[in-house]
Amino acid sequence: MEPNQTGSTRKVRRWLEEHDVDYIYRDLEKDPLSVDEIRLLLSLGDEGIGSVVSTQTLTRRKIEYEDLRLSTMIELIQSQQSVLRTPIVTDWNHCLVAGYSYDEIRAFVTPKERRQEMAVLRQRLAAEAS
């Protein structure tokens, strides 16, 4: 693990490893997101800017973000990637989780593991019914 990781980043990495989910760790301080990657992240989120940007950080820095144009917000994110909620976990297709939430990170459970969990659940329900 990298020494400067947040607790949330450590939790996410541990969860991904425990669930055998392949991932690539990327340190945004050393390898910042491109404008195209920022656009894609914003398009994947279901909460608009708040999906990937820490609005608390923007408020603390006295950045009036509510009325910013999208292009200006993208420029802001690219120049100050520390405003991003971290960690960001995405498959770059349809799934995005920013920060650590056990319920949300489960979107990355593999189909095989999901089938196993369902089988265990069915067994429990059958045992309770008898």
pLDDT for 77-123, tens place per residue?
Answer: 999 999 999 999 999 888 899 999 989 998 888 888 889 889 999 99
Using 50, 70 and 90 to split pLDDT, how confident is the model at 6?
Answer: confident
DSSP bridge pairs for 98 = 88
Provide the CATH topology of domain 7-129. Answer: Glutaredoxin (3.40.30)
Rounded to the nearest integer, the mean pLDDT of the chain is 90
What pLDDT, on the 0 to 100 scale, is given for residue 84? Answer: 94
Cα–Cα distance measured from residue 89 to residue 97, given in angstroms and rounded to the nearest whole number? 5
Is residue 44 within 8 Å of 37, Cβ to Cβ? no
> 59 or 85: which carries more pLDDT confidence?
85
What pLDDT, on the 0 to 100 scale, is given for residue 34? Answer: 96
Cα–Cα distance measured from residue 43 to residue 49, given in angstroms and rounded to the nearest whole number? 9
Contacts of residue 84, Cβ cutoff 8 Å, sequence gap at least 6: 28, 33, 52, 53, 54, 77, 98
Using 50, 70 and 90 to split pLDDT, how confident is the model at 44?
Answer: very high
Cα–Cα distance measured from residue 100 to residue 94, given in angstroms and rounded to the nearest whole number? 18
